[in-house]
Chain A
Amino acid sequence: DTEVTQTPKHLVMGMTNKKSLKCEQHMGHRAMYWYKQKAKKPPELMFVYSYEKLSINESVPSRFSPECPNSSLLNLHLHALQPEDSALYLCASSQDRLVDHFSGANVLTFGAGSRLTVL
């Protein structure tokens, strides 16, 4: 069982719909991430939250709106999406310790993903 839970697993939406993807972790991690992955491609970073504050936004269109209500939850609100936004959306979490020497604490733990189809 994955320790990062994403819901829903599959989502089909029209271009005028508003929906949300949810991510939850109970590992005490203070950094949470959204990645977008197209078929046969590596994941691309969208957003990073550190201690519930948005720390990185990789120039993502405003039709994607992240939210971190508390240290365990991360949402991605979707509105007016385009068909090209269809992809696998992966949530991840990690300790957020900026130390010079890496330890296992810097490993990102990923959820199983939410597969989004925009019609």
Chain B
Amino acid sequence: AQKITQTQPGMFVQEKEAVTLDCTYDTSDQSYGLFWYKQPSSGEMIFLIYQGSYDEQNATEGRYSLNFQKARKSANLVISASQLGDSAMYFCAMREGISSGSARQLTFGSGTQLTVLP
């Protein structure tokens, strides 16, 4: 079964507008971490933001914020004031806790290709 689901293969946003990239996840663990990475066409995977399952506040890093809704098992990425340089593939990923036996693995969603329009 898919552990991480990203339902938007492609998204377009106007420069300076905000955009939300969706991510839902599935785990029975109480302890897990959720991550967002950006991958430009050059290929490097750039870490953006993370949220721990026990964190009560939504994570923020500059123009990036994570809308964490634990009961809904969603961890959407919000990018405010989009810039042309934000055009890239965005991956949501999850790392489960010790009890899952896969604590070292990072499982990725299928990705969302974001295009920022001038």
Q: Which of A50, A96, A101 has the most CB of B within 10 A?
A: A101
Do most interface residues of chain B lie in helix, strand or loop, or is the interface mixed?
loop
Would you call B64 an interface residue if the criterion is a C-beta within 8 Å of the partner chain's C-beta atoms?
A: no
Q: Which of B31, B45, B50 has the most CB of A within 10 A?
A: B45
Interface residues on A, range: 20 to 34
Interface residues on B, range: 20 to 34
Would you call B81 an interface residue if the criterion is a C-beta within 8 Å of the partner chain's C-beta atoms?
A: no
Q: B98–A113 contact, CB under 8 A?
A: no
Q: Of all chain A residues, which has the CB nearest B29?
A: A100
Would you call A107 an interface residue if the criterion is a C-beta within 8 Å of the partner chain's C-beta atoms?
A: yes
The residue that B44 contacts in the complex, of A2, A33, A106, A108, with Cβ under 8 A, is A2
Point out the residues of chain A lying under 8 angstroms from B54, CB to CB.
101-102
Question: CB within 8 Å of A: which of B46-80?
Answer: 46-47, 50, 52-54
Question: How far is the CB of B108 from the nearest CB of chain A, in Å?
Answer: 4
Q: A31-B104, A42-B109 are in contact. Are A115 and B47 (CB under 8 A)?
A: no
Q: B105–A56 contact, CB under 8 A?
A: yes
Q: A110–B44 contact, CB under 8 A?
A: yes
Question: How far is the CB of A73 from the nearest CB of chain B, in Å?
Answer: 19
Point out the residues of chain A lying under 8 angstroms from B33, CB to CB.
102, 106
Would you call A104 an interface residue if the criterion is a C-beta within 8 Å of the partner chain's C-beta atoms?
A: yes
The interface of chain A, by Cβ under 8 A from chain B, is 2, 31, 33, 40-43, 45, 48, 50, 55-56, 88, 90, 92, 96, 98-104, 106-113, 115
* A–B Cβ pairs within 8 angstroms, 21 of them: A42-B108, A42-B109, A42-B111, A43-B45, A50-B104, A90-B45, A92-B45, A100-B97, A100-B98, A102-B32, A102-B97, A106-B50, A107-B47, A108-B35, A108-B47, A108-B106, A110-B46, A111-B44, A113-B43, A113-B45, A115-B43
